Amino acid sequence: MALISEDELDEIRARNPIFDIASGYTKLRRSGGKLLGPCPMCGGKVSSGRFEVFEKDNSWACYAYCNTGGDVISLVQQVEGCDFRAAIEKLGGRTAIDAARAKELFEERERKRLAREKTSADYREAERKRLFRTWRSALPIHATTASFYLEARGLALPDHCPGLRYLPSMAYWHGEQLDEHGRKSPRQIHKGPAMCGAFIRPDGKFGGLHLTWLATHESNELHPLLTFSKAEILDPDSGEVLNSKKMRGSKTGAYIAIVMHDAPRRLVIGEGIETVLSVWTAMHQAGRPLDDMAFWAAGDLGNLAGRANKTINHPTLKRPNGQPQKVPDRFPDLDDPGLSIPESVDELILLGDGDSEPVLTEYAMERAARRYAREGRVIRIAFAPAGLDFNDLLRAA
C-alpha cells in the first residue's frame, strides 16, 4: 500500500465518526461536551479513571490504565490489536478522492486549526485579565515585607517605582491534584507575601506578572528582630526546593519599569529586578544625576536579548551523550523585534549577571547590543565579576 495522504486520512476519519466506532466497542454516556464509559482496552471504569470520547475533534483518551489516546484509526488499532493498515481496512479502506473533495477536507482541517488557535488565544487573554486583576489588587511596595526584604539585601527603592507592588497573601501553585472523581486541578502548595512586578508589553498594555515569594523570620523571641528572605518552598512529593520566583502571562518584548521615564536619554536594562535595583542604588547613593534615566528589568536573558538567528555549539560544555551543548548565537534574528527601546535613548547600558552561565550571558549581551544598535547610540555592556551579581557586588562594597 502506497503512502496515504493527509486528505485520504481525513476522508476516512470523516466517514467513521468516533462516536459510532467507539459505541460499537463500549457503552458511552454523554457528560458535558464529551462521552464517557468503560475503556474497551483496559476495562477501566469511570471510578478508576476515564475513557473519554470527544466528538468535537474526533478523538479519544483513556485516563484509567491505558493513559493514551488518539484518533479513530488508533482506537481501532488498540482495541483490535491490529496495525495501522489493517485498521484502515476495517474502517472501509481508502477511497479515491477527487480535487473537490480534497479541497473540502483541506478547508475543514484549516477551520479546525483556526478554532484551536482561537481557543488558546482566548485562554491567554483570560489569563492576562486574571493577572491584571491580581496586579490591581496589589499594594504599593514601600514599607512592606517586600521593601524590607530589598533593604535587607542592601537595595534602596526609588520613591516612584511604578512596576513593583506587594501582595500580602499570594498562592503558589505547583503540580496537579486529583479529586474523588479523578478530575485534575492545579494544586496550591504555599501561600504568603510576594513582591510582584508588572510586565509592560511593547503596545503599552499589561502583559503578565513577575512574582517573588518572601518569608519573614523572627530571630529571637525575647528581642523580636525580624529578618526577611525569599520563601523556601518545597515540592510536597519530592521534597525538592522550588524556585521562589515565577513569571506568569506573557513577557515577550515586555519589561518591568523600575524607574519610568517618558523619553529617557539613558536606559539601564538587566535581567532581574534586584540586579537593576542594585545599579540604581549604587548610582543614587553616589549622588549621580538620574533625571534622564530609565531602569528596566527584562525578566530573563532571552527576553533581554531577543531570539538568536541560530544556535551554535558551546565552546566547552558537553551534554551527557558527549555532544557539545547548544547556546543561542551572538547574532540576532531580526524578525524578533526584542524590547522596544525608546528612540530617545542615546546611551543603553546592558547588565550581565555573573551568576548566569558566562558564555550564554556573553553571547546574549552581544546579541542585544547588535539588535539595539542605532546611529548615534552608545551601548555599554556591564558584567558583574564571575559568580557575583551586581547585588552581591553592592553588598560587598
Q: CB nearer to Zn ion: give 39 or 131.
A: 39
In Å, how far from its chain's centre is CA 353?
Answer: 21
Q: How far is CA 186 from CA 29, 36, 66, 301, in A?
A: 27, 23, 23, 28
Q: CB nearer to Zn ion: give 42 or 247.
A: 42
State the nearest-atom distance from the C-beta of 66 to Zn ion, in Å: 3
Q: CB nearer to Zn ion: give 62 or 259.
A: 62
State the nearest-atom distance from the C-beta of 78 to Zn ion, in Å: 9
Q: CB nearer to Zn ion: give 62 or 75.
A: 62
Dist CA 216 CA 227 (whole Å): 6
Please report the DSSP string for 260-327 in residue order. --SS-SEEEEESSHHHHHHHHHHHHHTT---TTEEEEE-SSHHHHH--BS-EEEEEEEE-TTSSEEEE
Establish if 233 lies at the interface with Zn ion (CB under 5 A): no
Dist CA 337 CA 87 (whole Å): 48
State the nearest-atom distance from the C-beta of 41 to Zn ion, in Å: 4
Dist CA 76 CA 85 (whole Å): 11
Q: CB nearer to Zn ion: give 29 or 160.
A: 29
Dist CA 259 CA 160 (whole Å): 7
- For 189, counting Cβ atoms within 10 Å of its Cβ (0-12 exposed, 13-18 middle, 19+ buried), the class is middle
Pick out residues in 16-75 that bind Zn ion (CB under 5 A).
39, 41-42, 44, 62, 64, 66
State the nearest-atom distance from the C-beta of 187 to Zn ion, in Å: 25
Using CB under 5 A as the binding criterion, the count of chain residues that bind Zn ion stands at 7
Alpha carbons within 13 angstroms on the beta-carbon side of residue 42 total 17
Q: CB nearer to Zn ion: give 43 or 92.
A: 43
Q: CB nearer to Zn ion: give 68 or 137.
A: 68
Provide the mask over 155-174, with x wherever binding to Zn ion is found by CB under 5 A and - wherever it is not: --------------------
Dist CA 264 CA 258 (whole Å): 13
Count of CB atoms within 10 A of residue 296's CB?
A: 23
State the nearest-atom distance from the C-beta of 51 to Zn ion, in Å: 6
Q: CB nearer to Zn ion: give 66 or 388.
A: 66
Dist CA 362 CA 372 (whole Å): 16
Contact 79, 25 (CB under 8 A): yes
3-state SS assignment for residue 56: coil
Summarize as ranges the residues that interact with Zn ion (CB under 5 A).
Answer: 39, 41-42, 44, 62, 64, 66
